[in-house]
Amino acid sequence: MVIVPGITLAFVLYSLSQGLNNIIGIELLGYSKSPISTAMIAIIVGITLGNIFQIRKGFLLGIDFTQKYILKLGIICLGIQLKPFEFLKFGTIAIPLIIICIISVLIIVKLLIKKLKISTRMAYLISIGSTVCGTTAIMATAPVIKASKGEIAYAIANMTVFGIISMLIYPYFANIYFDGDPLFVGLFLGTAIHETSQVAAAGLIYDQQFNSPETLNIATVTKLIRNTFLVIMIPLFAILYNRNTTNNKSYSITSIFPYFVLGFIGMIIFRNIGDQFFLNESSEQIWQSSISNIKDSAKIFLSMAMAAVGLSTNLKDIKSMGYKPFIVGFIAMITVGLVSITTMQVFTKIFIS
């Protein structure tokens, strides 16, 4: 099994990253559960080690397998955390809000790439990372638009830097701007911050600072609704990118469609059926334990994939891309925040009046 050494190395780096996460988030920062993404640490560790040491050829096939297939397995497993019927409570506001944010960022980024002249692949990665679900969206989209490892790492660096900034600032800003209203603060945090882990951390910070567990719940559910837009955005980007790069030659949508998205949808359906089926006390405990195990597996698989990407990323390639993609990432972050605020103000006027 030539892929085993590389997969094992990715798992070892995941374990190391999880240990570092616990030390930083729990021991040093004092949280009961670390607000830092293990996946984020994994790619940093991978990049560091991959650029200090020469990776042996025996590991390369397994590292590549982890990036391509274990990543997709992790994305499929993510579907288990989504409960469609929970979305009805906030969906009337959250879904239109998310759609408007996505469209706005896509338009802004489209205009920026003409001015700054960055690659279309990089623009797509930053766009979907900023509007849908950060690193996960980037990792899911990269294979279908044939993004390079350097482009993936650079886009993830964007999400990491600007996601952390918004995670630390937005809870306090939102409390002042929305006068502590749990619904609007939660919707803002859920739409304006990139990563699911960062949204959860921002909601936790808000809850601990302003005693509002409802805000944490609303932010989390809004973010999970936002995550489901992967199902639409990945095929859309695949079609758009291949249409623009085939020089008008014919191509098959079936050949570029990311079929693992169907697995993601299937997992959502599986979760909803299970919630309805396992209702007695003994079977419900087993079901909830199974859900927890699948959630944990998703995090492990995605973190392994991040470590694999890091290991195969050459920092010289990122340096050669320059500062312009970071400008796009910064403007995308500001755009999502401003559009979220403006849209909620408009909705408030419509529904109140």
Q: Is the pTM of this model over 0.75?
A: no
Tokens of 345: 């103000």
Instruction: Give the burial class of 151: count Cβ atoms within 10 A of its Cβ; 0-12 exposed, 13-18 middle, 19 or more buried.
Output: buried
Per-residue pLDDT of 93-147, as tens digits, reads 788 888 998 899 888 888 888 788 788 888 889 988 888 878 778 877 888 888 8
What single letter denotes the amino acid at residue 123?
A
- Hey, what's the torsion of the CAs at 297, 43, 110, 103, to 10 degrees? 30
Per-residue pLDDT of 305-341, as tens digits, reads 888 888 887 777 667 767 888 888 899 889 999 999 9
Tokens of 238: 């695949």
Tokens of 193: 């911050």
Tokens of 22: 């616990």
Per-residue pLDDT of 133-186, as tens digits, reads 787 788 778 888 888 878 888 888 888 778 878 888 999 999 999 999 998 999
Mean pLDDT of 248-256: 54
Q: How many residues does the chain have?
A: 353
Determine the Cα–Cα distance for residues 99 and 210; give it in Å rounded to an integer: 29
pLDDT at 176: 94
Q: List the chain domain ranges.
A: 4-352
pLDDT at 88: 61
Tokens of 112: 């920026």
* Tokens 């590389």 found at: 6
> Across all residues in the chain, what is the average pLDDT?
83
